Structure 1
């Protein structure tokens, strides 16, 4: 499986950095966030202490429920020969993510992801994969991806562990800045890597920017969320997502002109008899 499927997997994960621990999808409401005074010389000049840290925590981690959402986007990527691609992504909350990618009107790739694992076909090369999440983590050199992480990344939700001991919040001219006081230690196969983490939220708590920088190398990942839209069911979603990968891997992926639909849709998936199962290394 070549560029089509690789793009599909990267699009669905929205990250490509080596990691294992220090990311937790099940932070408790009882956790707290340490708020630092703005006297630190690294803080924005107009930064000020946040008075209600519990409200901030609830706003960035607790979101209105949804049953299903259909996402239609145009995708461009720096390492693709042809673009833009048309992508349809359908999320059924906590159950499945279905995706279809095409170029012009030509079908290119399709995937269905559930809490049990990942299935995807590459129509161009007539290949397919059928794997658990370890397979995807190994493919993209990450170890923190599971089903719920994919949902959060696609929908612009906070996915980092937030704790009293390793984070600070300041108010600045753009909204709220959350950054790590101590480096996030992330373990892969007993190898520890440390990251500096920074995030930015708007005044109404929409995630606009997140960066993970490896403190011992040039490896970094940045994600920018823009043009947030609020729907009658109070669900908020970003229309534009930009992923920038730097360091030992270098790439840019842009999802834009996104349209959302909350109606239910069919999610067909089957592997033709003449397709070959492959391994990506």
Structure 2
């Protein structure tokens, strides 16, 4: 259960605003701006999100029992996760732009820190807002910021930064039919890890299309872990409760981000 929470949190991983096309704009620039506009026009809009999901996890040691995970988001403020097995809560997390906190009831342990270990583990900076976008079907980097290259493929567009990061290579796949995210990939340039997220089973939620399945594959060169998230129900803009209190007597977890 503790490793499952780590993977969920890892799932966890220069601005130049979009301006009106000037007379010097190329056809490539105009097409990119149109694609970005269509992409965000189709993005889910919400103030709060309350979702019930099923989680399947496997690594080189084999598959683990299916876990029920409740995901609650107060946009741009809080992400709350509650994992339960056979009806009993086993782990809970509360994530804000400043902190990452979770506790594991099965092992009487807790973690209270920030996103630093996530950034070190992935080799790229990852923050609250990127995690929020990842969980709700958007590219971890906002395409309206920075400059990107759009390469047409058989099913859509491969999107990459015009200037890749020093620590990692970033790739996004966007469908041409409805301009939704197909996949995301973060590849460490030192060859020590990759993170792949595939999205599918899109359904209408709040007048937008939302991926009801996420397939997350993490490979650190020594072990390959896979987390499959299947959304069951999603409620938008209702009141959400996020109870969280680390129980007394629990042992603090010291994470080694470089493992």
Shorter-chain TM-score tier: 0.7 to 0.9
Q: Give 3-state SS (helix, strand or coil) of 1:52's partner.
A: helix
Structure-2-length-normalised TM-score: 0.81
Match of 1:173 among 134, 144, 154: 154
Instruction: Report the Cα offset of residue 236 of structure 1.
Output: 3.4
Instruction: Decide whether aligned partners of structure 1 residues 246 and 133 sit closer, same or farther in structure 2, where only a CA change above 3 A counts.
Output: closer
Aligned residues: 248
Q: Which residue of 2 aligns with 1:77?
A: 57
Q: Which residue of 1 aligns with 2:34?
A: 55
Match of 1:185 among 161, 165, 168: 165
Instruction: Report the Cα offset of residue 52 of structure 1.
Output: 3.0
Instruction: Report the Cα offset of residue 68 of structure 1.
Output: 0.5
Match of 1:137 among 119, 128, 131: 119
Instruction: Decide whether aligned partners of structure 1 residues 204 and 8 sit closer, same or farther in structure 2, where only a CA change above 3 A counts.
Output: same
Q: Which runs of 5+ in 1 are unaligned?
A: 17-23, 38-48, 187-192
Give deviations 1:164-194, integer Å, cap 9, x for gaps.
Answer: 9964223443133324555x223xxxxxx34
Match of 2:8 among 11, 25, 43: 11
Residue 212 of structure 2 corresponds to residue 239 of structure 1: yes
Q: Which moved more, 1:203-212 or 1:73-82?
A: 73-82
Instruction: Decide whether aligned partners of structure 1 residues 202 and 86 sit closer, same or farther in structure 2, where only a CA change above 3 A counts.
Output: farther
Alignment check: 8 A CA contact 1:5 1:120 kept: no
Instruction: Decide whether aligned partners of structure 1 residues 219 and 13 sit closer, same or farther in structure 2, where only a CA change above 3 A counts.
Output: closer
The aligned runs of 1:11-50 (5 Å cut-off) are 11-15=8-12, 28-30=17-19
Give deviations 1:195-244, integer Å, cap 9, x for gaps.
Answer: 26342324211001122334552632211000122223x34321000011
Match of 1:66 among 34, 41, 46: 46
Instruction: Report the Cα offset of residue 132 of structure 1.
Output: 2.1
Alignment check: 8 A CA contact 2:103 2:109 kept: yes
Q: Which residue of 1 aligns with 2:93?
A: 111
Instruction: Report the Cα offset of residue 77 of structure 1.
Output: 1.1
Distance in 2 (alpha carbons) for counterparts of 1:178 and 1:54? 13
Alignment check: 8 A CA contact 2:16 2:145 kept: no
Distance in 1 (alpha carbons) for counterparts of 2:234 and 2:173? 25
Q: Which moved more, 1:215-224 or 1:198-207?
A: 215-224
Q: Give 3-state SS (helix, strand or coil) of 2:177's partner.
A: coil
Instruction: Decide whether aligned partners of structure 1 residues 83 and 31 sit closer, same or farther in structure 2, where only a CA change above 3 A counts.
Output: farther
Q: Which residue of 1 aligns with 2:200?
A: 226
> Which 4+ stretches in 1 moved above 6 angstroms?
163-166
Distance in 2 (alpha carbons) for counterparts of 1:272 and 1:142? 32
Instruction: Report the Cα offset of residue 69 of structure 1.
Output: 0.7
Distance in 2 (alpha carbons) for counterparts of 1:122 and 1:181? 42
Distance in 1 (alpha carbons) for counterparts of 2:145 and 2:89? 48
Q: Which runs of 5+ in 2 are unaligned?
A: none
